Every structure is written in C-alpha cells, then in structure tokens.
Structure 1
Amino acid sequence: MNHTSGEEAVGAVFSGGRDKGKAKREDEYKGPSMQRGCYPLIIDPIFLKKRLTKVLMDGGSSLNILYDDTLDAMRIPRSELHPVSSPFHGTISAMQANPLEKINLPVMFSDQANFRLEVLTFKMVDFLGSYHAILGRPCYAKFMAIPNYTYLKLKMSGPNDVLIVGSTFSHAYTCDREHYELATTIINSVELP
C-alpha cells in the first residue's frame, strides 16, 4: 500500500516493517503449510497518521486492545488516557487482565483512491503482545467490515467504492510464528506447581 504524506510507519520500531517493493505474486508464496484459512488476518491501518503494520483482526474478541509499547512508540501523551474500572477475561489463558486505561483514537483504512476513518475506543494493556493492536467486534461493527480469512482480506464500504485491505500470506505467517514463539516463551516461563 502507498502511504500518504505525513504518515510514519510504526512497524519499523517493532519489526523492521514489511517487505515493501518486492514484486512477488501472492500465489508464489511457498511457506510452511500453505493452507488458506489457517492464517491470522493482519492489516496495517493508520492510527493518528502512523501506520501500524501488525494489527490483528479478531472477530472473536469483544474488545479493541492497544498495547502499552505501541502507545509509547506512537508518542501519545498519557494525558489522553481515561480511567477504566472493569477487568476483562480470556486474553491471557485462565487469568483476569486489568486494562490500564482506555483511549479513543481515529483509525483509518486506506488504499490509493479510497479511505474510511472512524474513532474507536481501545483498552490499554501492559503485558507483552506480538501485535501492535487487536481490533475486535466493535471495529467490525463500526466499519461494517466483512473479513475473508481465505484470502486474508477485509472489505468495507468507502466513499468512492468498496475498500479492500489485507495482508500477504508471508506477512501473516511471520506474524503467526512470532505470536506462537511469544506465547511459548510466556508459558514456559511460568512455574508449574
């Protein structure tokens, strides 16, 4: 995707960014276990003029989550955060998570000639994550977005036409492996009784 002027890629802070400029066709990817529908839907929306390159679209989550590290990388002042009183469950297996605070941020999906911008509420968490953010059902509803996990695409209406955003299979595979490695490290670091 092309980036508009004034936008910064936060992915460089976390992962070195995606492989831009490679002319490899999507169907030429021959990564391990190339099975359509088995990879996470990873997108790269723009948050406050900064493109986040590893955002998970999670249709099973009732929350939009932003990690503390992402907030710091985006240089958002803590004065923008608002208190949260209720914990949530299911993010960390069998544990209750307490969000730090919440924040409202404009999120934009775009391509060269079409875009869609909405303000979403995010719960801030201070535990490790392999993604920059997780967008759940509130995002799907606000954007009226339809996921296609077979082709790793997300469709929504835009001002000019249907807007289609998505990821490459190689990027989704890489993000999936990073998530697996982080989860394995966390599980292995917990002492068993």
Structure 2
Amino acid sequence: MGYDMASLVPSDQAFYGIIPGAESTPVGRATLPVTFGTRDNYRTEYVNFEVAEFETSYHAILGRPSLAKFMVIPNHTYLLLKMPAPKGVLSVYGDLQTSCACEAKNIELSDTLERSRNSVFVAQAAKNLPMDQQIVPAKESTSESQPTPVVATKTIVLQEDEPHKTAVIGASLDSV
C-alpha cells in the first residue's frame, strides 16, 4: 500500500459512492499536509484522509470538506480549481486525458466488481434450488421463438421497380 499502519488513527466512518455499489469501512484515518501552488505562491492545509482497502483508479479524492478548507472554486468543465493564496489567486489545472483515463478505469473496475457480485449471488441461489429446478430447458426452435405481432400487419412494397424492398405496417393502414 503506501501508508504506514502505525500512523493511522482508527475510523468508523463508512463511506459510499467511490465505486458504484461498493461501500467501504476505512482501515483508518491519516491527517496529512496538502500543498497547492509554487515556491513563490502556495497554500498548505491539513486534510483528513480516510484510508480504504479497495481498488480504484484514484490515489486520493478531495471531497467538499477539503475543498472548503482551501476555499476552492471548482470549474468542472475546464478541470480548474481556483483558490486564494498569500500572493494572489492560485489556479490548478487538471489534465483531460488523465481524467478520462481514470474515469474509464473506474467504470471498468466497477463493472468487474458488479459481475463478480452477481456471479456470487447466482451461485448461492443455485445451491438453494431443488435439483429438479436446476435443469436447463431445451432450446426452442427458431420458428417457435419468433415474436408474433400484437396487432394485424401487412407487408407493402416500397418501390415497384425494387420489389425486395418492403416494410411491415399495421393492416388497418393504407399503403399510399
């Protein structure tokens, strides 16, 4: 991991929404200094981080409390954070390609977790079924499995010089 277990303070703050459908109870909390800016103009605040034991494409997520501490004004469209500093406004720019790559990785990871959870549920449900219900029904022939229209239909030719081009319309419609 990248943290020292001795420096973690116990935490019972479960959180949700980082990976869709997955919750986590942190292994602990660490308070670390976070600095934005340059040597000439910077801002440092101490931020509480909850340390979790699950895979994600992000190394750290700064939530609303952290942004409020820095008095950040975020602009999500331009991936831009602006905050006050001793020598003027600090602008922190994000990287669109990195942001898209992280989001794609996070979606892929959550899909994998969801499939894994679903397969566990299916396996558990199958164990509880009586043997006579575990038989897979024989596949029906394709002609029997074709859906039948609820209303009466008729086939019309779209162009007289190309009779193979047709459309199916309701039987009560005119073929004008």
TM-score in terms of structure 1 length: 0.56
Distance verdict in 2 for CA 1:94–1:102, change over 3 Å: same
Higher relative contact order (CA 8 A, sep 6+): 1
Structure 1 partner of 2:7: 80
Task: Indicate the SS of the match to 2:61.
Answer: strand
Structure 2 partner of 1:180: 107
Aligned pairs (5 A) from 1:118-137: 118-137=45-64
Task: Indicate the SS of the match to 1:142.
Answer: helix
Q: Is the 8 Å Cα contact of residues 156 and 162 (structure 1) preserved in structure 2? A: yes
Q: Which runs of 5+ in 2 are unaligned?
A: 123-176
Q: Is the 8 Å Cα contact of residues 45 and 70 (structure 2) preserved in structure 1? A: yes
Q: Is the 8 Å Cα contact of residues 145 and 155 (structure 1) preserved in structure 2? A: yes
Identical pairs, percent: 38
Q: CA deviation at 1:83?
A: 0.9
Match of 1:161 among 88, 93, 97: 88
Is the radius of gyration larger for structure 1 or structure 2? 2
Q: Which runs of 5+ in 1 are unaligned?
A: 1-68
How many residue pairs align between the two structures? 120
AA matched with 1:175: C
Q: Is the 8 Å Cα contact of residues 91 and 97 (structure 1) preserved in structure 2? A: no
Q: Is the 8 Å Cα contact of residues 21 and 114 (structure 2) preserved in structure 1? A: no
**More off after superposition, 176-185 vs 123-132:** 176-185
Task: Indicate the SS of the match to 1:119.
Answer: strand
Task: Indicate the SS of the match to 2:101.
Answer: helix
Q: Is the 8 Å Cα contact of residues 19 and 106 (structure 2) preserved in structure 1? A: no
TM-score in terms of structure 2 length: 0.61
AA matched with 2:29: K
**More off after superposition, 147-156 vs 92-101:** 92-101
